[in-house]
Amino acid sequence: MPSKQTYSFCFCFRRRFRLPVSEAPPEIRTLFDRYSDQNGVMTATHLRSFLAEVQREDNATEEEAQTIIDGHKHLSIFHRRGLNLESFFNYLFSHHNNPPLSPSIGVHQDMSSPLSHYFIYTGHNSYLTGNQLSSDCSDIPIINALQKGVRVIELDIWPNESKDNVDVLHGRTLTSPVALIKCLRSIKQHAFVASEYPVVITLEDHLTPDLQAKVAEMITRTFGDILFAPTSKSLKEFPSPESLKRRVIISTKPPKEYLEAKEVQETEEGPQQEKPADDEEAWGKEVPSLRGGTISDYKNIEDDDVLDDEEDIDEAEKSRQDAADEYRRLIAIHAGKPKGGLTECLKVDPDKVRRLSLSELQLEKAAETHGKEIVRFTQRNILRVYPKGTRITSTNYNPLIGWMHGAQMVAFNMQGYGRSLWLMQGMFKANGGCGYVKKPDFLLKVGQNNEVFDPKAHLPVKTTLKVTIYMGEGWFHDFKHTHFDKFSPPDFYARVGIAGVPNDTVMKKTEKVEDNWSPSWNQVFEFPLAVPELALLRVEVHEYDMSEKDDFGGQTCLPVWELRSGIRAVPLYSRNGDKYANVKLLMRFEFI
């Protein structure tokens, strides 16, 4: 008698090109009966009604419905007449034809507002291939980031060993350098592969004036006409992404002296290493909670001086006199911190705009007492948030604390795979994946009494997202058949939830389905949302392991405000954000 594995293999082999009707969830059968004739045929007229009433595609036409039918006629004995249950089920479960985000709308947000009105896909230490302490520096991570739509590339620039040229490396560590010119040339070659909207290069500058002049020459010669150089010393308002299409922008602090003595001192101090969580290899750390203004991931980390992350301001002021003018003229987005502490840093100057950088810890502390001031600052100016110095293994933090305060550049280690990075990838699936997402109106508006959005306010529920997770499919094709268990099919369950403002954030899970490559859960979850404009739908599939930690079965993260209502095929992704060829879920999204 054949084993259970043999049956499973034969069954799945037959399904390689289509799913059998026997696997269709009960609700799919019910909907097909409702939207088909007595002969079991869903005609173009029926399908158009289904698209309008269930899928909420109000503008769907019969011609579009007929195109869908024509694309699935090989699965139906009725051919052009319409869909049968099998072809209807396979249409719904096709992530190519029925994805959760509309593939046709592309870049659809208004792109004519100032840069400060957008969340921007931002990298941190973009040149590192691995950890922050000893990995190689290379242009390959920069190329990978640009190909995935990242729009802000960070380069730390230092004198090379002979002090006559410029390298990129993580200073005060053991990372091996890469030549700056190689990074610049790679940026130029790959800048607009994934998006035509501007690329910002943020420079952490540790150079002498003569090397700053050399950098200015490199940048000018490499980028030529695509470099955006402002005509005035400072901008009164940032240009728009639309006006800066296919342009490269330089952002850094005003030039200052390279102080070798300080470099030696900081090298000797060195960073401290964090201890990875037990499940970090498979999933990454769970995204830290923002409730109550505390984040458990940050405990026992001291950061007494909220503004002491970069060189002393006095040094910058003294060295401006000697810095290379050519270098200074290239800076379009000026960075730096004024004297006087946090209050002065967050003051809005009506005559010029600038960029302020805060570590994740500094932002957390500032948000406790100056939340509304941060929102007001980010309406005109740019706030960059970067990972704390103890993230040696290139992990990341919860990006929502930055986004809910209007921070445009929430900088992430793009090689730091895990849950936090999945949120970042989910956010920038929005707006056609162009790397710029318009901030919600409430973060940009000023009320009649000059009030702005309060990130600590407890807001009423605006809408409820109802999620039905029917089933999953595709692991048999994309994973080795012994990947999860050597002697039996996998035991899958799903985690479904929301990442958003604190009161919206939650995770739930389905029941476990044992010994099945195509699990059917048929479970419904409801998520009340006070701020759906910042909500991300999180989905993870786990393979239950009684004796060890659960195995990774796929993940995705989707912007709630762009979800297509109705029944959709949701593709899953690997740990590093690559889409699987076949693994997907059948889910339904309703806003009630």
170 tagged catalytic: yes
Contacts of the segment 108-113: beta carbons below 8 A, 24+ positions apart: 108/431, 108/432, 109/431, 109/436, 109/437, 109/438, 110/438, 111/197, 111/240, 111/241, 111/242, 111/436, 111/438, 112/240, 112/242, 112/243, 113/240, 113/438
Sheet strands (E) in 452-503: 463-473, 492-499
**Do residues 565 and 507 make contact, with C-beta atoms less than 8 angstroms apart?**
no
Amino acid letter for position 529: L
Quote the crossing angle between the two packed helices 140-147 and 180-190, to the nearest 10°: 20
Task: Please name which of 335, 406, 395, 334 lies closest in space to residue 366, comparing C-alpha atoms.
Answer: 406
Task: Identify the three-state secondary structure at position 143.
Answer: helix
- Residue for token pair 């200073």: 171
The two beta strands, 178-179 and 152-159, are unpaired
- Residue for token pair 């992990």: 395
Bridge partners of 137? 128
Sheet harboring 551-559: ordered strands across? 506-509, 492-499, 536-543, 551-559, 566-573, 579-591, 463-473, 520-529
Burial class (CB within 10 angstroms; exposed 0-12, middle 13-18, buried 19+) of 540: buried
Active-site entry in 46, 124, 334, 370 = 124
| Rounded distance between C-alpha atoms, residue 380 and residue 443, angstroms | 11
Q: What is the dihedral of CA 238, 239, 245, 246, to 10 degrees?
A: -50
Amino acid letter for position 285: K
Active-site entry in 117, 170, 206, 405 = 170
DSSP state of 388: -
DSSP assignment string, 51-66: HHHTS--TT--HHHHH
Instruction: Please list, in sequence order, all residues whose beta carbon lies within 8 angstroms of the beta carbon of residue 93, skipping any fewer than 6 positions away.
Output: 19, 473, 569, 584, 586
**Do residues 535 and 500 make contact, with C-beta atoms less than 8 angstroms apart?**
yes
| Rounded distance between C-alpha atoms, residue 16 and residue 482, angstroms | 18
Task: Identify the three-state secondary structure at position 305.
Answer: coil
Where helices occur in 393-538 by DSSP H, the ranges are 400-403, 419-427, 475-478
Residues designated as active site: 124, 170
